[in-house]
């Protein structure tokens, strides 16, 4: 197209197809996740990731439940849960055993070490959350959580 017609944006200037990058929700969510990851790495002891903490947290509230149910409660897919559980078992943080009522299912529970790690990391996780939301007042924080929950609770199909 002839750039003299004004139909083509100038390279490096003008509005590109898709609009302002800073207004794209996916871009903002990715940047927020990067901020969360940086705060997590700096503030949470024990060398566990946020998804690993979610598994420990679920097991702290629900001892001896199925691996599938842990995934549901932690909002993790089956393959991710299987990989995380394997790592946490290797570290001695959770026990995995076959369900005597259904040999196809694994039952999970925290070990003493896993319970202790959950106990010492929880205050740091709470602080990461507080720090992440610190630019917002209580009303804005509640609204952000509500809006994100609405995005995540919808049927993707």
Query: How confident is residue 21, by pLDDT bands cut at 50, 70 and 90?
Result: confident
Contacts for 55 with CB less than 8 Å, ≥ 6 apart:
70, 74, 76, 81, 84, 85, 88, 94
Burial class (CB in 10 A: 0-12, 13-18, 19+), 71: buried
CATH number of 47-131: 1.10.10.10
Span 63-118, pLDDT tens digits:
899 999 999 999 999 999 999 999 999 999 999 999 888 888 889 999 999 999 99
Nearest-angstrom CA–CA distance, 95 and 97: 7
Q: What is the pTM of this model?
A: 0.81
Q: How many CB atoms lie within 10 A of CB 139?
A: 8
């Amino acid at each position: 197209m002839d750039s003299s017609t004004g139909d083509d944006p100038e390279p490096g200037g003008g509005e590109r197809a898709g609009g302002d990058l800073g207004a794209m929700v996916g871009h903002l969510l990715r940047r927020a996740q990067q901020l969360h990851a940086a705060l997590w790495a700096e503030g949470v002891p024990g060398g566990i990731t946020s998804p690993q903490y979610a598994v420990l947290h679920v097991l702290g509230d629900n001892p001896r439940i199925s691996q599938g149910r842990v995934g549901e409660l932690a909002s993790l897919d089956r393959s991710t849960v299987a990989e995380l559980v394997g790592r946490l078992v290797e570290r001695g943080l959770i026990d995995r055993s076959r369900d005597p009522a259904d040999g196809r299912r694994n039952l999970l529970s925290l070990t003493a070490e896993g319970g202790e790690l959950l106990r010492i990391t929880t205050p740091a996780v709470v602080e990461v959350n507080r720090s992440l939301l610190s630019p917002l007042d209580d009303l804005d924080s509640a609204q952000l959580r509500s809006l994100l929950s609405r995005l995540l609770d919808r049927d993707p199909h």
